[in-house]
Amino acid sequence: DTGVSQNPRHKITKRGQNVTFRCDPISEHNRLYWYRQTLGQGPEFLTYFQNEAQLEKSRLLSDRFSAERPKGSFSTLEIQRTEQGDSAMYLCAGGGGTSGIFYNEQFFGPGTRLTVL
């Protein structure tokens, strides 16, 4: 168990609805990453935070995707106007602990599986 939790674990929604997922890393994780994983593929990087600063968002899949980490602890990923192609597993990972040697290790949560009908 990495200590990273994600909620909800499963989400079923209708096309056009907005959805929001939450990720809670452990307190030592000053970095937080979001990935998308489709069936039979490896995780695909979306965005990441160093504390509350979003350091890269160019790989968010479209402007319908947004992420926040307002207090540098938990993070949310929102998808607006969902489409059937958004159906996937959304993973978050914590990392970048206080040890400089292991700053790029990433520890994943269990994921949120999104199904868009």
Partner 1 sequence: GENVEQHPSTLSVQEGDSAVIKCTYSDSASNYFPWYKQELGKGPQLIIDIRSNVGEKKDQRIAVTLNKTAKHFSLHITETQPEDSAVYFCAADERDDKIIFGKGTRLHILP
Residues of this chain that bind partner 1 (CB under 8 A): 2, 4, 31, 33, 40-45, 48, 55-56, 91, 93, 96, 103-111
Decide if 107 contacts 94 (C-beta within 8 A).
yes
Residue with Cβ nearer partner 1 (96 or 116): 96
Q: How far is the CB of 103 from partner 1 (least distance, A)?
A: 7
Q: How far is the CB of 81 from partner 1 (least distance, A)?
A: 27
Q: How far is the CB of 16 from partner 1 (least distance, A)?
A: 28
Q: How far is the CB of 86 from partner 1 (least distance, A)?
A: 19
Residue with Cβ nearer partner 1 (40 or 70): 40
Decide if 22 contacts 9 (C-beta within 8 A).
no
